[in-house]
RNA sequence: GCGCCAAUUGACA
């Protein structure tokens, strides 16, 4: 068996699954039974050559016969199922693992929890997390972060609190990502005070704030129209040695644009450009949306052209703003021209 | 033990 398995592994590593299967059949005809190593090798080989159906079939076969099965039999398949967003199948196999007391590795769990949440299957993700606790396969901080993030995004405050409480009771530690996730969540939902409180807490625990932390807090202030405080926090960020990036400035520009202070937004924009900082379509979209909202279509179009001349592709959001602006000042014909331009770029109106 | 890669957090809609 060992010799056969070695040969099979060699062919699998070369991606030659046909030869690998030939050896496998040869093996059976000579009276040797494929063992779990044979299966695991072939499963991995099929996965690496994108033949997932075949890999899955082998795994099903392994499950149906009484063959020693280990994490290696599952890992590559589940990995690929996650990549292909086939979360139902992935979850089914994870449950098979748990039934057999096999611990999936932490990367895999993080991917599954994140994938389930992205598909709106939050309760499955929560159930899995608790099932892991029961089995004493304690989810690591990344897996928990993925769950917390998913629940925050779906606005499921009750569940977020439930998970946090469980983590605290069990003495699981929060890391920078946990704090940033929660801070962003509070700030986005208008509770910037809670965000600041958590920021303080993380500092006390020796976890330093980073660009994401500041960006979220600044966003929280902007959302409430506290632009002066937002600018002060930006200064504090710099003096703390944390470098604001295009996201941070984007939040401030957006804040000014939404608050009908586009000129101040434009000032920040100019500072970015003069400082040779990268600007992107998000930044341009904020400005274009701001001008369009005010009905200043001359300026909106000028900014849009500037964007194009810099080689930055307008997005459907850019065009939506322009269309909205044109209609607002009664120039439906101009709006139609914008739609024509979108068609030429094969951007679909949303 | 080392190295590389990947998985969880921030901006326009």
* Distance, CA of A69 to C1' of B11, in Å: 46
Handedness of CA A106, A107, A112, A114 (dihedral sign): positive
Helices A157-169, A176-188: axis angle to 10 degrees equals 150
What is the pLDDT at residue A346? Answer: 84
Using a 7 Å CB cutoff, list residues 180-199 of A near strand B: 180-181, 184, 188
Tokens 């979108």, residue located: A342
Check whether residue A209 has its CB closer than 7 Å to nucleic acid strand B: no
Q: What is the mean pLDDT of residues A34-44?
A: 91
- pLDDT tens for residues A253-276? 999 999 999 999 999 999 999 998
pLDDT above 90: residue A248: yes
Q: Alpha carbon A142 to chain centroid distance?
A: 12
Q: What's the residue count for chain A?
A: 350
CB A167 within 8 A of CB A200: no
Enter the pTM of the model.
Answer: 0.91
ipTM above 0.95, yes or no: no
């Amino acid at each position: 068996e060992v010799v056969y398995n070695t040969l099979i592994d060699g062919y699998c590593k070369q991606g030659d699954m046909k030869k690998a299967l030939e050896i496998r059949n040869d093996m059976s005809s000579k009276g040797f039974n494929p063992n779990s190593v044979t299966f695991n090798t072939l499963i991995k080989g099929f996965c690496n050559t994108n033949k997932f159906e075949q890999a899955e079939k082998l795994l099903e076969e392994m499950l149906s016969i009484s063959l020693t099965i280990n994490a290696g039999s599952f890992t590559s398949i589940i990995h690929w199922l996650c990549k292909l967003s086939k979360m139902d199948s992935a979850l089914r196999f994870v449950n098979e693992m748990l039934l057999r007391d096999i611990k999936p590795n932490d990367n895999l769990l993080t991917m599954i929890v994140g994938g389930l949440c992205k598909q709106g299957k939050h309760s499955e993700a929560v159930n899995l997390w608790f099932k892991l606790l029961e089995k004493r396969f304690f989810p690591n901080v990344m897996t928990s972060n993925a769950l917390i993030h998913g629940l925050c995004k779906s606005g499921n405050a009750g569940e977020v609190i439930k998970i946090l409480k469980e983590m605290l009771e069990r003495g699981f530690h929060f890391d920078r990502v946990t704090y940033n996730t929660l801070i962003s969540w509070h700030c986005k939902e208008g509770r910037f005070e809670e965000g600041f409180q958590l920021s303080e807490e993380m500092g006390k625990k020796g976890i330093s704030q980073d660009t994401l932390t500041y960006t979220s807090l600044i966003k929280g202030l902007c959302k409430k129209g506290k632009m002066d405080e937002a600018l002060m926090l930006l200064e504090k960020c710099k003096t703390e040695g944390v470098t604001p990036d295009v996201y941070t400035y984007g939040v401030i520009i957006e804040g000014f644009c939404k608050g009908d202070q586009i000129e101040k937004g434009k000032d920040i924009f100019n500072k970015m450009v003069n400082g040779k900082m990268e600007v992107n379509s998000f930044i341009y979209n904020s400005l274009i949306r701001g001008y369009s909202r005010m009905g200043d279509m001359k300026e909106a179009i000028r900014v849009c052209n500037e964007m194009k001349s810099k080689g930055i592709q307008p997005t459907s959001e850019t065009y939506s703003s322009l269309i909205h602006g044109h209609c607002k000042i009664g120039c439906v014909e101009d709006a139609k021209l914008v739609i024509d331009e979108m068609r030429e770029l094969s951007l679909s109106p949303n």
